[in-house]
Amino acid sequence: MSDIQNELNTVVHTIRNQLNQVSMHTEVAKMLIDQDGNVEKIQQSLNIVLEACVQCDMTLNSLKNSSQP
């Protein structure tokens, strides 16, 4: 496998992990809201979602920057 393909596979894996965090913690927040859950726990889950979004953006910017000459 080429270096470019290895790098692309790593980036795809990283983004999938970040999107999985977004999905999982959004579901947790929804469940807590439906159960009149603890506001602090809901905020924790949503903060994790926001952090995963920031990390995803950074990963994509890194990919964009590495592909420029």
Closest CA to 42 of 52, 28, 56: 28
Contacts of 35 (CB under 8 A, 6+ apart): none
Q: What is the pLDDT of residue 69?
A: 67
What string of pLDDT tens digits covers the 69 residues of the chain? 788 888 889 889 999 999 999 999 999 999 999 998 889 999 999 999 999 999 999 988 988 887 776
Q: What is the pLDDT of residue 58?
A: 92
> Whole-model pTM?
0.80
Q: What is the pLDDT of residue 56?
A: 93
